[in-house]
Structure 1
């Protein structure tokens, strides 16, 4: 979050959810759904980076995580 986002509830929520998704070993689908609804185009790369890192960290990444990444790639 930048200083310009300090009073922006949407930006604050995106920052919070992105941090939670990054920190949780198995983030909830609901949390990721909300985050994806709130993301602006310039915020998508940071989210994709979090999901890609999660897939790298897992021996058997989840199909739902793979689907999310595919949907984000299709939208780009």
Structure 2
């Protein structure tokens, strides 16, 4: 698996988890402030798409994960 695939899988899991924890109708609801984490992940995805730089991908590459195409 390449670094960009891992970044997108982790981002997707974070978004789904924070939505489950932040939506009042969810059986896992904790607090609506979890939706701020959803926004944080979205902003980071937007930033990495515009700047073509992602901190998590840089960290994964330093850990030896293969870079994507």
The bucket for the TM-score relative to the shorter chain is 0.3 to 0.5
Q: TM-score, normalised by structure 1?
A: 0.36
Larger radius of gyration: 2
Higher share of residues assigned helix: 1
Bigger RCO of structures 1 and 2 (CA < 8 A, at least 6 apart): 2
